[in-house]
Amino acid sequence: MRSAQVYRWQIPMDAGVVLRDRRLKTRDGLYVCLREGEREGWGEISPLPGFSQETWEEAQSVLLAWVNNWLAGDCELPQMPSVAFGVSCALAELADTLPQAANYRAAPLCNGDPDDLILKLADMPGEKVAKVKVGLYEAVRDGMVVNLLLEAIPDLHLRLDANRAWTPLKGQQFAKYVNPDYRHRIAFLEEPCKTRDDSRAFVRETGIAIAWDESLREPDFAFVAEEGVRAVVIKPTLTGSLEKVREQVQAAHALGLTAVISSSIESSLGLTQLARIA
């Protein structure tokens, strides 16, 4: 006997959360709970404003239609990425195939006053890896802040994310203020420039490694080994089903790339499930 419930949720956001020049006041999404006999599986569907192609209202419509089909015995996954991911997680929990062990080691996102950050990062136990958003302010300022952090904490490694904010000139301005001796401690910089070709040129000119993120969701993207490309950043909510996520992870590993499972600002349920597949 199958049954299902869909819940809508809304969480108020910190005033400092800005996505592509839009302040995110609330995070909206859906939960789906699937039951079959004594078994139960949960999934989260929460399209990310400014990044997902679909709105949560569109996702809700597709989810409700899928639930009705599932109750009637049809298990074909929807194509809409956020719904496909949430539904596939619920089905995996239902089938007990979603790993129970979770990897909660995440690079903390750092923002705020650089002097305060230095104190916090210096006290970080174990391997010091942190993430810093760049591209929100002037490229010169970003370069100076990154250089300051790397200079002050010799065992710190940074993951930087520019979200394609820079022109080639701004990328050069950033790199100019990062000491070449410190650049190897930038683990990677996600999508520095507006185009992939410009990002490749950034690698050649600066020696700073990059990672693909938005590129993974473009139709002409292919997994190939490239000079200076060190990682791929996979956002399951924007990618699709668990199977598609795992295929991308395997393709990255086959090339010797780091595959980073990344959040799209999910709720605690979604974050926990991301940790279980990381």
What's the pLDDT tens digit per position in 175-227?
Answer: 999 999 999 999 999 999 999 999 999 999 999 999 999 999 999 999 999 99
Residues in contact with 261: Cβ distance below 8 Å, sequence separation at least 6, in sequence order: 234, 236, 245, 249, 274, 277, 278
| 8 A C-beta contact, residue 248 and residue 258 | no
Looking at 131, 194, 235, 244, which residue is catalytic?
235
pLDDT at 66 over 80: yes
Sign of CA dihedral 207, 211, 215, 216: positive
- 235 is an active site residue: yes
Residue appearing with tokens 């010169």? 140
- 131 is an active site residue: no
Domains and CATH numbers, the chain: 2-94 (3.30.390.10), 109-277 (3.20.20.120)
Looking at 25, 120, 133, 170, which residue is catalytic?
133
Q: What is the DSSP string of 27-93?
A: EEEEEEEEEETTEEEEEEE---TTT-SS-HHHHHHHHHHHHHHHHTT--PPPSSHHHHHHHHHHHHH
Burial code (b: 16+ CB inside 10 Å, e: under 16) for 174-187 equals bbebbeeebbebbb
**pTM score above 0.85:** yes
Percent of the chain past pLDDT 90, that is, above it, reads 82
